[in-house]
Amino acid sequence: MEIKIDPQKSRLFKDLLDYTGLNEMLALRRCDYAVTELAILWDKKKSVLDFYREAELYIFDLTKYQLILESNQLVNKMINQIENLKLKKILEFGGGIGEFSVLCSEKDFDITYYDLDGEIKNYALWRFNKHQCDIKVAEKYPLDQQWDLVNMMDVLEHLENPQEVISDLSKNTDYIFCNPEEVKYNVFFPQHVSKFDLREYFELVDGYLWKNKNNCNDLKNGIN
């Protein structure tokens, strides 16, 4: 999918240029081909965890992904849902380049970011510092703690044990953001190693928002 960007208006893209030192054209090209190159590199990986820690191309791939979400106003809708439900304690799990955390910080949410140590996390931390964000960074597995909401967008299909993680979520969070209906399993996404089912513990509310079935609180009106 071709991306049309005004670099003077896109903070996401401007951050990428500042961090990598690339010019606009080269950065756009890397964003476009990153998904294909990552699929090729997958076959050469030493281990799954090392692949995610060391693959610098993910910075470009995830920037493109976030730019698509941005252009479709999807993250803004998620932020509105958090506000309308008056959720307080938020976790971005597998947070990537940290854009969701940055936007939550700007809304003064109590936001915590978690991802593996490595190239992607280093970039996220650089962004948090650049934009002077008040974001907590979890250094250990955080799903044994209580959260109002956990953002799991495009994460579970990358895990080798997604059902164990879903079980932890069912015990420790009221809501999640997740998009299992749109997961792609094909030659361009060999990193999508697992299928999973949320419906034992969660029910879809609206968009990408899922509610824990054990959550007895009534949904507020106007979460769209």
Domains and CATH numbers, the chain: 11-69 (no CATH), 74-212 (3.40.50.150)
- pLDDT at residue 184, as a whole number: 82
In this prediction, residue 22 carries a pLDDT of 96
Q: Which residues contact 213 (CB under 8 A, 6 or more apart)?
A: 201, 202, 203
Are 139 and 116 spatial neighbours (Cβ–Cβ below 8 Å)?
no
Residue 97 near residue 65 (C-beta atoms within 8 A): no
Residue 9 pLDDT: 80
Quote the pLDDT of residue 224: 43
Closest CA to 145 of 126, 120, 164, 171: 171
Contact 162, 156 (CB under 8 A): yes
Alpha helix (H) ranges present in the chain?
11-20, 24-42, 48-54, 57-71, 74-85, 99-106, 119-130, 162-172
pTM: 0.91
pLDDT on residue 69: 87
Condensed to tens digits (0 to 9), the pLDDT of residues 43-67 reads 889 888 899 999 899 999 999 999 9
The DSSP letter of residue 1 is: -
CA 134 to CA 112: how far, in whole Å?
9
User: pLDDT below 50 — which residues of the chain?
Assistant: 1, 216, 218-224
Report residue 40: phi and psi, to 5°: -70, -45
Q: What is the pLDDT of residues 134-146, one digit of tens each?
A: 999 999 999 999 9
Q: Quote the DSSP letter at residue 162.
A: H
> In this predicted structure, what is the pLDDT of residue 220?
42
- The Cα angle at residue 131 between residues 35 and 153, in degrees rounded to 5: 40
> What pLDDT sits at residue 221?
40
Tokens for 218, please give them. 């009534």
Would you state the pLDDT for residue 8? 65
Nearest to 208 by CA among 153, 147, 170, 143: 153
